[in-house]
Amino acid sequence: MSFRATAAVWAGKFTTKILKLAGSGGTSLPGKVVLKICPDILGHLAKDMKIICVTGTNGKTTTCHVIRDMIEAKGCTVFCNDAGANLLGGVVSAFVGAATFGGKVKTDYALLECDEAALKAIVKHFGDLDVTAVVTNVFRDQLDRYGEVLTTVNKIRAGLEQLPNVKLVLNADCSLTTSLNDLPHSAIYYFGVNGPLYEGTSSDISDAVYCIHCKTKYRYHYHTFGHLGGFYCEKCGYKRQEPNVSLREVLEWRDGSEVVEMEVFGKTFQAEVMLPGGYNLYNALAASVIAHLIGLPEEKMISVLGGLTTHFGRMEQVQLGDSTLNMVLVKNPAGFNEVLQFLIQQRPDGNIVFGLNDNYADGKDISWIYDVEFERLTEAAAGAKHFYFTGKRAYDMQLRLKYADFDTEKFCVEKDYKTLITRLEQSGEQTFLVLSYTCMLEFRDKLSEFIPLEKYAR
């Protein structure tokens, strides 16, 4: 450990302390201070560790939570960056937080949620280290930021290219993710779902219609959602790889969990996955690959999957007077469609709140709400009492639902969070809140004036 690196760690810890005293929730500033002093700090701090990076468009946070539980169930120690603090600064802050004043990190694993575009900078000094990289999926996300979906793939590629000995864990059902399998690696593992997840899964909205290698239209044995499924290209032969960890069947959809039959490296067993919605099953599968790789026995893996707590899956339940609020974050069409699938199963009979902002972190362009298949929810939500719309683009969201044939008599635009919260409290109803990122932050800030809330990652 060089003097510079040690000094950087001290400076980082000092900044963190000051921020804590000031009551700020900021997590990336200490990282910036550290990098100023020692740009290759991560190479120093990560030297003797096993590193797991989780990247991809959707499911990073949930996958990290499940992996963390798997590692702890094995009896190993791990530190993670805070959810949302997934740029270089946030990762550095996490390392500094985990390091001793002597500049040593004493946990067995570093588990890092990495923004796709930040991956390259994060792994820059990890070239010779023991790194496992999980890519959850690639979907269209905030197109005004990344331009097109292939740009996202290329950003992940640019990161992984720096890791010639990486162990890759890829989503077999995602043609964009699987295309990373031509990168140098020491091992490669796939996870996937072996059949359609829901009845009548539509494939109208696809982020990858044409073969990434030869531009021929993909054919599918089945779809799970979005462009995920049993894809193959008739022309060049590019196709879904046989997964090492797969979901064979959903035996039962329960309220907030699923009973599934899964196969993990050749062994088949049943498990209850305590995460709501089919999209979260992919996250459970990805984490199960890691569980196997770290040598966690199957029975412990099953017990982890069955013991996950509810704020996973970015769905959070709180009680507001007699009203139960279920809050869920939406970032892009694929994620939103999966939330709708979850709502369809719930058959809501209370309130549904849709909140949409168009700040930078939400995506300035709100066109994507027309790629969300609200039409599939219309009938299942016919018993709901009110549809509330909030956030800067509340009126656009309201209009979207008008064109999806929702009952406009039940519509109410309420941009003032305080008034909205009061109305929800007075209703005494089960309420689902589906909110874009900054709308979630603003809403929770206001809600915390009414009831105590856990800190939300920023």
Max Cα-Cα span within the chain: 68
Query: Among 334, 342, 53, which residue's Cα sits nearest to residue 208?
Result: 334
We find the least distance from the C-beta atom of residue 238 to another protein, in angstroms, to be 15
Reduced to 3 states (helix: H, G, I; strand: E, B; else coil), residue 340 is helix
Measured between alpha carbons, how far is 24 from 28 in angstroms, rounded to an integer?
11
Could you tell me how far CA 455 lies from the centroid of its own chain? 18
Q: How far apart are CA 328 and CA 440, in angstroms?
A: 8
Cβ of residue 405: shortest distance to another protein, in angstroms?
8
CB of 204 or CB of 299, closer to another protein: 204
CB of 342 to another protein, least distance (A): 22
Q: Which is nearer to another protein, 44 or 331 (CB)?
A: 331
Count of positions (residues) in the chain: 458
- For another protein, give the closer residue by CB, 209 or 451: 209
Instruction: Give me the least distance between CB of 239 and another protein, in Å please.
Output: 19
Residue 7 or 212: which CB sits closer to another protein? 212
Least gap, CB of 60 to another protein (angstroms): 23
C-beta of 152: minimal distance to another protein in Å? 11
Helix (H, G, I), strand (E, B) or coil at 109: strand
- Write down the least CB distance from residue 202 to another protein, Å: 12
Q: Angle CA(142)–CA(143)–CA(148) in degrees, nearest 5?
A: 135
Q: Which residues bind another protein (CB under 8 A)?
A: 140, 143-144, 147-150, 204, 206, 209-210, 215, 217, 364-371, 392-396, 398-400, 402-403, 405, 408, 411, 413
Nearer to another protein, 176 or 193 (CB): 176
Nearer to another protein, 90 or 333 (CB): 333
SS3 content of the chain, % helix, strand, coil (to 5): 40, 20, 40
User: What are the residues facing 245 on neighbouring strands?
Assistant: 191, 264
* Least distance to another protein, CB of residue 140, Å: 8
DSSP string, 246-263: EEEEEEEEETTEEEEEEE
Beta carbon of residue 393, minimum distance to another protein (angstroms, whole number): 7
Task: Choose between 367 and 419: whose C-beta lies nearer to another protein.
Answer: 367
| C-alpha to C-alpha distance for 53 and 67, rounded to whole angstroms | 11
| CB half-sphere exposure, 418, CA atoms < 13 A | 1
Name which of 234 and 322 has its Cβ closer to another protein. 234
Question: Helices in 74-192 by DSSP H: which ranges?
Answer: 88-98, 119-123, 143-146, 149-160, 175-178
- Beta-carbon contacts of 275 under 8 Å, excluding residues fewer than 6 positions away, are 62, 66, 256, 257, 258, 281, 283, 284, 308, 312, 313
**What is the smallest separation between the CB atom of 185 and another protein, expressed in angstroms?**
25
Contact 48, 129 (CB under 8 A): no
Going 6 to 9 to 14 to 17, the CA torsion angle's sign is: negative
Nearer Cβ to another protein (60/393): 393
Pairwise CA distance, residues 163 & 178, whole Å? 17
Q: Which residues pair with 433 in a beta bridge?
A: 327, 353
Residue 216 or 270: the one with the smaller Cβ distance to another protein is: 216
Of 254 and 364, CB closest to another protein:
364
Q: Find the shortest distance in angstroms from Cβ 174 to another protein.
A: 16
| H or E stretch at 271 | strand 267-273
CA angle 177, 154, 189 (to 5 degrees): 30
> CB 12: neighbour CB atoms within 10 A?
26
